[in-house]
């Protein structure tokens, strides 16, 4: 027995060893699961038990330079039913009371509630509710436990179409967006994101961090408790260089213009900052972010995204006479006081060119102020087309202004060198056409504004910029975006600029640009009427202005498509913009005048007495 038992005992020992080995293996695997993969599993457990009702964070606001929020956020609410009772009479009452505020039929709401109650899950009853209905809902939720009103925010553009081409608009996530922006960046399927303009360009900065109500749910998705109510973090604010009043004036002017189609651009000649950039027709970006309980416009309808200010190219017409004039002055070949007699036509030899009127004998200043074609034909023939092309290049005609906007057109430079490169001939007729800004010459409204600003600043061709800075709402940190950048200097003789200023001032004071003559300001301007073989002529207006004794601080270019006369169609808009820009100065000047008159009157009375 004993002998047998020893061997048998050893078998039991084998089993115990086996148990030890098994425990070792198990322990290793337990360490693997519980220590090495702890983080993964903990995350999975957390995901298991939490359901999040996300709350959109407010997007960063967009301000104009004078501090007016032109893109902001409005409160919006979502209504959830977190379950609780399955009592049918309770649900029926609930449906009856809530349905009118949610604009859904009572039966639909009731059946939705019943499925929600039976599964016990959090149920979204309505989202994107406006404050209008939520006042009533907020009161109602006290009577119906289980109803939860979640506050969210929604993009809102308080001034509707204001600068809509610059601001852009929001849209839903599509497949392409998903590839670029995923959940890790805080995007959800229901997120809205910038689809155009500033909204798109500064999507990263504008986007805030979503908040959410974190619910604890059990394995069947039934809500057990509310874990936490995490507040959102708003996105960063974008500050534009736009001047609210000028932009507003430009938009209103364009809307009320003869055709309602056109563009107006205002630049600060000292920096290149965009003070206004308007294109008509415009659109209201609010239609892309509607409330669910309001009448909705169909956002799929075609909106006018075409930004005429940077994408429309037209012949600059008579506004180009500034360049022809500058070339003539620079050449030193003309005497500004020598008079040319305008008989209404100019004989170039092969062809007779017409003027738009009969101006009689005109010197340089009258030629400019009356926009006399014959005068410019004459001096162009004298100085030659190459000189004009050279000045064109100085002011970067035919090149993009370099504004940070997609789709900008470059326009077209017109001159003998360009012709030579295309291996075709240049005729005298081309020179004459060029001199009055017709022919193959093409510019965008913003290009003309840049030209005006360059003349106003005596040669600085700035790159236009419209975003000043981005200010974080979390840290308060400011990030400068746009800065003055001189692309090129148009180096002309100082006398050339002096005479040009004089001629343009003369145009405003006594000539075709009389419409922008404003008391108390030094205004310089030039009109243009682009001949359009397909319909009515296009109206141009270019102007810059300064407070007396200061350097010019605004340059505007206004274009009205099919507006016929530059003076009649575009002039008033330019004037409105200038008046808006100098409103303070003008008010002070008017007050001063009034005071002076009053004083003079009183003085007179006193004298009488």
Partner 1 sequence: MMPSFKQLSASRSRMDYLLFGAMAALVLLGACCIMSAVNSISWSNPVVRTHLVALPVGALAFFIGWSFNYQIFGEQWKYMYGFILLLLVGVLLFGSYQRGSRSWFVFPFFSMQPSEICRVCLILVAAAFLNLRGRRSRDISSLFSLGLLLAPVFGLIMMQPDFSSVVVTLPALMVLLYCAGVNVFYLSMIALLVFVSGFFTISWTYIYLHPELLDYAWVRVFHGLAHNAWYIAGFAVSVILLGYVLWWFFRYLRVFLPSFYFVLASLVVLMGLGGGIFVEHQMKPHQRKRVEAFLAPKSDPRGAGYNVLQAQIAMGAGGMTGKGLFSGTQSRLGFVPERHTDFILAVVGEELGLLGTLVVLGLYLIVLWRIVAIAYTSSDRYGYLVCAGIFGMFFTYMLVNYGMLIGIVPVAGIPLPFISYGGSNLVASLWALGVVQSVHARRLRA
The radius of gyration of the chain's CA atoms, rounded to the nearest angstrom, is 36
Q: CA torsion 168→308→66→591, rounded to 10°?
A: -150
Rounded least distance, CB 20 to partner 1, Å? 7
Does residue 184 touch partner 1 according to CB under 8 A?
no
DSSP 82-100: ------HHHHHHHHHHHHH
| Contacts for 587 with CB less than 8 Å, ≥ 6 apart | none
| Residue with Cβ nearer partner 1 (41 or 143) | 41
Q: Which of 97, 127, 216, 536 binds partner 1 (CB under 8 A)?
A: 216
Rounded least distance, CB 90 to partner 1, Å? 26
Contact code string over 218-257 relative to partner 1, x by CB under 8 A: xxx---x---------------------------------
Contact code string over 53-72 relative to partner 1, x by CB under 8 A: --------------------
Q: Which of 9, 190, 256, 382 binds partner 1 (CB under 8 A)?
A: 9
Rounded least distance, CB 287 to partner 1, Å? 42
Closest C-alpha to 318, from 169, 146, 435 = 435
Contact region with partner 1 (CB under 8 A), list: 24-32, 71-79, 96-104, 326-334: 24-32
Contact region with partner 1 (CB under 8 A), list: 32-40, 200-208, 235-243, 379-387: 32-40
Strand partners for 280: 262
Closest C-alpha to 455, from 551, 519, 381 = 551
| Contacts for 62 with CB less than 8 Å, ≥ 6 apart | 69, 70, 71, 72, 167, 198, 237, 238, 239, 240
| Residue with Cβ nearer partner 1 (23 or 420) | 23
| Contacts for 551 with CB less than 8 Å, ≥ 6 apart | 269, 270, 456, 457
| Residue with Cβ nearer partner 1 (49 or 547) | 49
Contact region with partner 1 (CB under 8 A), list: 31-39, 137-145, 376-384, 409-417: 31-39
Rounded least distance, CB 52 to partner 1, Å? 15
Q: Which of 4, 533, 548, 549 binds partner 1 (CB under 8 A)?
A: 4
Q: Which of 16, 185, 226, 601 binds partner 1 (CB under 8 A)?
A: 16
Rounded least distance, CB 244 to partner 1, Å? 53
Rounded least distance, CB 22 to partner 1, Å? 6
CA distance 5 to 257: 115
Q: Is 375 helix (H, G, I), strand (E, B) or coil?
A: helix
The dihedral built from the CA positions of residue 134, 136, 138 and 144, taken in this order, carries a sign that is: negative
Q: Which of 1, 189, 295, 609 binds partner 1 (CB under 8 A)?
A: 1
Rounded least distance, CB 5 to partner 1, Å? 7
CA distance 207 to 197: 14
CA distances from 119 to 93, 100, 455, 493 (A): 20, 25, 73, 83
Contact region with partner 1 (CB under 8 A), list: 28-36, 260-268, 322-330, 376-384: 28-36
Contact 435, 368 (CB under 8 A): no
Q: Which of 30, 135, 551, 591 binds partner 1 (CB under 8 A)?
A: 30
Q: Which of 38, 358, 477, 597 binds partner 1 (CB under 8 A)?
A: 38
Show the tokens assigned to 538: 């296009």
Residue 304 phi, psi (nearest 5): -90, 90
Q: Which of 27, 88, 124, 596 binds partner 1 (CB under 8 A)?
A: 27
Size of the site for partner 1 (CB under 8 A): 39
Rounded least distance, CB 119 to partner 1, Å? 14
| Residue with Cβ nearer partner 1 (4 or 533) | 4
CA distance 361 to 367: 9
| Residue with Cβ nearer partner 1 (27 or 592) | 27
| Residue with Cβ nearer partner 1 (17 or 382) | 17
CA distance 240 to 64: 5
| Residue with Cβ nearer partner 1 (224 or 595) | 224
Contact 294, 101 (CB under 8 A): no
Closest C-alpha to 141, from 90, 98, 102, 91 = 98
Residue 313 phi, psi (nearest 5): -115, 130
CA distance 104 to 601: 71
Rounded least distance, CB 36 to partner 1, Å? 9
Q: What is the 3-state secondary structure (H, E, C) of 35-83?
A: HHCHHHHHHHHHHHHEEEEEECCCCCCEECCCCCEEEEEEEEEEEEECC
Residues that bind partner 1 (CB under 8 A): 1, 4-5, 7-9, 11-13, 15-16, 19-20, 22-23, 26-27, 29-31, 33-35, 37-38, 40-42, 44-46, 48-49, 216-220, 224
């Amino acid at each position: 027995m004993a002998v047998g038992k020893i061997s048998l005992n050893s078998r039991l020992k084998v089993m115990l060893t086996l148990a030890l080995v098994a425990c070792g293996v198990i322990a290793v695997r337990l360490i693997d699961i519980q220590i090495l993969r702890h983080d993964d599993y903990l995350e999975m457990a957390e995901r298991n038990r939490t359901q999040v009702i996300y709350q959109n964070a407010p997007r960063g606001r967009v301000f104009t330079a004078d501090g007016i929020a032109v893109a902001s956020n409005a409160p919006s609410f979502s209504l959830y039913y977190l379950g609780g009772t399955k009592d049918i009479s309770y649900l029926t009452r609930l449906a009856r009371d809530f349905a009118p505020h949610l604009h859904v039929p009572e039966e639909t709401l009731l059946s939705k509630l019943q499925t929600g109650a039976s599964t016990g899950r959090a149920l979204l009853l309505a989202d994107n509710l406006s404050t209008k209905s939520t006042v009533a809902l907020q009161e109602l939720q006290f009577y119906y436990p289980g109803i939860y009103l979640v506050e969210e925010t929604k993009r809102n553009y308080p001034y509707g179409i204001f600068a809509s081409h610059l601001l852009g608009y929001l849209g839903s996530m599509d497949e392409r967006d998903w590839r670029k922006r995923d959940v890790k960046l805080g995007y959800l399927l229901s997120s809205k994101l910038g689809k155009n303009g500033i909204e798109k360009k500064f999507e990263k900065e504008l986007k805030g961090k979503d908040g959410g109500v974190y619910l604890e749910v059990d394995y069947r998705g039934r809500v057990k408790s509310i874990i936490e109510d995490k507040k959102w973090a708003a996105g960063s604010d974008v500050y534009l260089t736009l001047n609210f009043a000028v932009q507003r004036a430009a938009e209103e002017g364009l809307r009320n213009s003869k055709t309602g189609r056109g563009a107006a651009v205002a630049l600060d000649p000292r920096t290149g900052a965009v003070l206004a950039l308007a294109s008509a027709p415009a659109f209201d970006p609010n239609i892309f972010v509607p409330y669910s309980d309001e009448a909705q416009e169909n956002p799929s309808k075609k909106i006018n995204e075409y930004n005429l200010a940077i994408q429309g190219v037209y012949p600059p017409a008579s506004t180009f006479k500034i360049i022809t004039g500058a070339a003539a002055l620079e050449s030193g070949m003309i005497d500004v006081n020598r008079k040319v007699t305008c008989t209404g036509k100019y004989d170039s030899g092969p062809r007779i060119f017409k003027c738009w009127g009969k101006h009689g004998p005109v010197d340089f200043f009258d030629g400019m102020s009356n926009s006399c074609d014959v005068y410019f034909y004459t001096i162009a023939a004298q100085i030659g087309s190459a000189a004009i092309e050279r000045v064109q290049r100085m002011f970067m005609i035919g090149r993009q202004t370099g504004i940070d906007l997609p789709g900008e057109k470059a326009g077209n430079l017109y001159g003998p060198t360009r012709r030579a490169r295309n291996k075709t001939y240049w005729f005298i007729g081309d020179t004459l056409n060029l001199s009055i800004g017709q022919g193959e010459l093409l510019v965008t409204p913003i290009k003309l504004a840049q030209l005006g600003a360059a003349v106003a600043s005596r040669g600085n061709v700035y790159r236009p910029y419209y975003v000043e800075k981005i200010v974080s709402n979390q840290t308060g940190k400011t990030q400068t975006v746009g800065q003055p950048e001189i692309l090129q200097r148009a180096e002309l003789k100082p006398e050339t600029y002096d005479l040009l200023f004089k001629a343009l001032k003369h145009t405003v004071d006594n000539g075709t640009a009389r419409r922008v003559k404003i008391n108390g300001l030094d205004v310089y301007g030039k009109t243009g009427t682009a001949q359009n073989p397909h319909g009515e002529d296009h109206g141009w207006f270019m102007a810059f202005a300064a407070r007396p004794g200061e350097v010019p601080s605004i340059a505007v270019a206004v274009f009205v498509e099919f507006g016929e006369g530059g003076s009649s169609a575009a002039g008033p808009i330019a004037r409105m913009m200038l008046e808006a820009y100098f409103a303070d100065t003008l008010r002070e000047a008017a007050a001063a005048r009034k005071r002076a008159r009053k004083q003079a009157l009183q003085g007179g009375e006193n004298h009488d007495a």
